[in-house]
Structure 1
Amino acid sequence: MTDVTATPRAGFGSFFRRHPRAWAIGGGALVFALLGTGAVVAGAAAPEPSPTPVAAASASPTPTATTPPPRPAPAAVPAASRLRTCSVADLAADPRLADFQGQVVNATTGEVLFDRGGQTPSRTASVLKLLTSAAALQVLGPDYRATTTVVKGATPGSVVFVGGGDLTLSRTPSGDESVYPGAAHLDDLAAQVEAAWEADPATAGTPITSLVLDSSYFADPAWEPSWNRKELFDGYMPEITALQVDGDRDSPYDSTSERSEDPVGRAGEAFADELGGGLDIQRGTAPAGAAVLGQVQSAPVSTLIQQALVVSDNTIAEMLARLTAIVSGDGNSFSALNSAIPKALQAYGIDTTGIVIADGSGLSDNNAVPPSYLTQLMRKVNAREGTLGVILDGLPISGEKGSLSYSDRFTGANSDADGAVWAKTGWIDTGYTLAGVVYAQDGTTLTFAVYALGDVSDDAKQAIDTITTGFWRCGDNLSNN
């Protein structure tokens, strides 16, 4: 076996220990060889070149200091939303809601808590009256009153009955309120005309023999082409003429009452009776500059809006819409509404993109408003911005007031939300809607809009009430899942 600790054999190390001078000379030679081998080899066949003088270095220009571009700042990280756990997903899937759309917003923070197609413009039914009311407040103002006038006619013995767009003018006796409390009355107007007629020396002692009816303030057609004509005979909508009485109802005391197909003629006959009867009634226009014999005014816009909203009165809604279009300079026909209403609404600072206005009441399927517009508008209504508090004061209230207090609304378990839902109802053949404010169980104020569209039946109302009560129960813990 080999011993790995044996003395090493003599070799180069032993030689250099015995001959240190040789080690010094040899070591230097070795270093020289290692460092210069390449040069010696490369130049072995050529003589050493003479050194070349080095030219003086020219001065280099001083570099210009540059500022490095700023580093892009990272985008601000949005604040994390709280985790919300109260879901109404099963309620939103209720088949009674058919094609469901909806949005719910925290009215204080503006945060969208729940959304199902909230950005899609769709038909609104009578919820559209919220937009009509907001536009009227912006253009007309809360104190505006529509005026009905009688002027002297162009021929002896004639007077002209000029409609000023007051569809609430009543044929009931003064002191006997119609379906529209505070409305002007024909007997008051007739008394003014007779007094002025007798006070004028040119007509005193002579009879009024003819009555001209001027309804030119509103343009034709009087019936919006997309409306179902049965709404006239079912008692929900009159023809929209600038001269009519009691919304052209058969019964001036009933909200739902059959309407005629000649509202101007009905108004003329009622006024002729107030003037004593037996008059020749004609259609025409008032002479320019004719002397005024009498005039009466409607209730103010603030009152009219509340009357329109609380029981969803189509007549007043169309009256307000048409007057808004006229005063804004957009025209006096249905077609003028699509420019007049959105233009007026722009003053509230909410994007009106996608909104289509076919009428003022919401009866047409051609109207289109996204639920998101309504949630934003109702935030301003709830805050009573400008004059929008008028709308809040006119809203139906669950279990307490108007169309949300009827026997088929917020019943059973949904009565838990009685008094907490302030909202406008909507119903047409192709949809049910509801939009407004929920004062939730946890103290949060929510604004909301829900649509049940398509093949719907009357029980869609209860499904809408149920999901709205769900919003009330969840409050700020409402989840979008």
Structure 2
Amino acid sequence: MKKLKHMKKNITLIFILLLQVISTGQDLSSLNKLVDKYQKSKLFKNSTWALHARYLKSGKVILDKNSEVSVAPASNMKLFTSTAALEILGEDYKFSTKLYYDGSISDDGNLYGNIYIVGGGDPSLGYDLVKSALPLDELMQSWIKAISAKGIKTVRGNIIADALLYDAKPIPDMWDWIDIGNYYGASSTALTINNNLYFLYFKPGNKGEAAEVLRMEPEVPGLTFTNYMKTGAKGSGDNGYIYCAPLQYNATLRGTIPAGVDEFSIKGSIPDPPLFAAQKLMSALQENGIAVKGKPTKLINLVIYDDSKMITKTISPPLKDIVYIVNKRSDNLYTEMLLKALALNVKGKGDIESGTEAVKEYLERNGINSDGLFMYDGCGLSRSDAITAKMMVDLLEMLTKKKHFDSFFNSLAVVGDPGDIGYFSSMGRGTEIEKNAHIKSGVITGVRAYSGYLKDRKGKTIIFSLIANNYNGEGSDVSFVHKKIMIELAKLN
């Protein structure tokens, strides 16, 4: 009798185990069928579609397709740059921008010398994407207060911008002409201010009619426009582009903005951010009753500053808050600034090439094979950038063991979280990935990517990277498929 009960228990146990195996098998089968179905579809038939997913704890591979083929990652590249910065610079690292004067200050308030704005590579200077950073006007007021506290009433010399901490090449060589005049193609200079952008406001007409330029905020002295901007259909959104190279002051406007609104703005990149900083400070001084007899200009040769003549110092928010903007808002300028900071810290030279070398060394030092990595910038805007899906997952796995992991993880978008930013706040609502998947997206023409973490039904962490290049259809169609794959991953037992 006891033997019979024992047999029944064993049979029950075997039955339960079989059900679990069948259940898991069905989940994997569903995932594989989904991928196979879309691989044969018109959308992906001629594309390069790289997929890799595995369990964090066991390392068991769940999904693997073209995972060691180099593909363009778009903004997924930011994960390499931002995590290298967290490890090498430290999550509490801060940048500083300093104001100095030279010459002497007379008893009646005349500065017989110049004022220098010395850039320290702070991407947040004068723009409050990071909450603790001062916006442009408040920054100017803080500087004017410090200048006044020195007893300066008249500046007999110039306002000089010093951006020599980093090299003179403002943008990567491999960026496209269509991008560089727009805010997301802004120059990464050691003295950056107002996110190196301006807003350009238009008055739309009827569909097909010209769109009139109304104003620029902030005003960039000397910047003019050749305007070919047209009015598109109502609700057509921002399809306007600003074509302008760094250091050039005539921009060409093309594309469309939507009809049906009183005014519509697009964002452009300031042609010469250090010069703009000097111009802005000079203007603010004059508006506040401090005369400037010289002009705004830029430093050409290195100067050794006298610390006793430092007027003030503006300290950035901690690096972890800057990385939050890099990944959560996918800010290209912030990322390129971090790349140059890495270059200076690791290689002693603040240039793009030294920065990419520093990132590759960081990967190798952490046991990640960088074969298949082609890095021409820090943010992924270059269409020549390439990574592998497996390399991305290797990076995400390695990061879970780092002390700065929480700072990194918090910078990822949380799918379906109403408190998150933009599209992701409504993505995946009512599905297994709602408030479960933490991801970084990547979007440029012909590229759609999602990489990150999620948990399956048993609470086990899955790391994944889904990257599509040169698909035949809309990017939104690819993102929809990638969302379905994430949902299937989250359904696994």
Q: TM-score range by the shorter chain?
A: 0.7 to 0.9
* Matched ranges for 1:30-45 at <5 A: none
CA distance in 1, matches of 2:168, 2:153: 39
Aligned length: 378
SS in 2 for 1:323: helix
Q: CA RMSD in A?
A: 2.6
**1:165 Cα deviation from its structure 2 partner:** 1.0
1:424 correspondence with 2:440? yes
Largest Rg, 1 or 2: 1
Deviations 1:227-260 (A, max 9, x none): 1233344432311111121211214899973222
Match of 1:405 in 2: 424
Separation in 1, partners of 2:462, 2:155: 63
Contact 1:210–1:281 (Cα < 8 Å) also in 2: yes
One of 48, 55, 59 as aligned partner of 1:110: 59
Q: 1:298 aligns with which of 306, 309, 316?
A: 316
* Cα distance in 2, alignment partners of residues 379 and 402 from structure 1: 25
Matched with 1:123 is 72
| Residue in structure 1 matching 2:347, options 325, 329, 332 | 329
* Aligned partners of 1:179 and 1:255 also within 8 Å: no
**Which of these residues, 266, 279, 296, is aligned with residue 281 of structure 1?**
296
Amino acid in structure 2 at the alignment position of 1:405? F
Change (3 A) 1:255 1:371: farther
Work out the CA distance in 2 between the residues paired with 1:333 and 1:393.
28
Map 1:378-457 to 2 at 5 A. Answer: 378-381=396-399, 383=400, 385-400=402-417, 401-403=420-422, 405-407=424-426, 409-410=427-428, 415-455=431-471, 457=474
Letter in 2 for 1:159: I
Among 162, 174, 181, the alignment partner of 2:118 is 162
Tell me the amino acid that sits aligned with residue 243 of structure 1: L
Q: In the alignment, is the contact (CA less than 8 A) between 1:153 and 1:286 conserved in 2?
A: no
2:338 matched to which residue of 1? 320
Give identity over the alignment, percent: 19
Answer yes or no: is the 8 Å Cα contact 1:192–1:294 preserved in 2: yes
**Whole-angstrom CA distance in 1 between matches of 2:436 and 2:361:** 32
- Using the size of structure 2 for normalisation, the TM-score is 0.71
Specify which structure has the higher proportion of strand. Answer: 2
Q: Give the partner amino acid of 1:140.
A: L
Partner of 1:239: 187
- Deviation string 1:135-185 (CA, Å, 9 cap, x unpaired) is 0012110111111111223693311111111122116xxxxxx33321243
What is the Cα deviation at residue 339 of structure 1? 0.8
Deviation of 1:358 (Å): 1.1
Structure 2 residue matching 1:250: 3-state secondary structure: strand
Give the counterpart of 1:89 among 21, 32, 50: 32
1:354 has 2:303 as partner: no
Q: CA deviation at 1:264?
A: 2.1
Q: For residues 57-68 of structure 1, what are the structure 2 equivalents within 5 Å?
A: none
Give 1:404 shift: 5.2
Find the counterpart in structure 1 of residue 390 from structure 2: 372
AA partner of residue 160 (structure 2): V
Letter in 2 for 1:464: H
Cα deviation, residue 327, structure 1: 0.8
What per-residue deviation string (whole Å, max 9, x for no partner) do you get for residues 48-99 of structure 1? xxxxxxxxxxxxxxxxxxxxxxxxxxxxxxxxxx884423234324243532
Aligned partner (choices 316, 328, 332) of residue 310 of structure 1: 328
- Residue equivalent to 1:193: 147
Cα distance, 1:105 vs structure 2 = 0.9
SS of the residue corresponding to residue 468 of structure 1 reads helix
Equivalent position to 1:248, from 192, 196, 204: 196
Cα distance in 2 for residues equivalent to 1:389 and 1:269: 40
**Residue type of the partner of 1:389?**
D
CA distance in 2, matches of 1:403, 1:441: 27
Matching residue within 212, 224, 228 for 2:160: 212
Tell me which amino acid in the other structure corresponds to 1:89. N
The more displaced of 123-132 and 353-362 is 353-362
Return the alpha-carbon distance in structure 1 between the equivalents of residues 130 and 468 of structure 2. 31
Partner of 1:153: 102
Offset of 1:430 from its aligned partner? 2.5
Residue in 1 that maps onto 2:359: 341
| 8 Å Cα contact 1:162/1:286 also seen in 2 | no
1:360 match: secondary structure: coil
SS in structure 2 at match of 1:464: helix
Deviations 1:384-426 (A, max 9, x none): 522122110111011112355255x436x7x442111101011
Report the counterpart of residue 481 of structure 2 in structure 1.
Answer: 463
TM-score (norm 1): 0.73
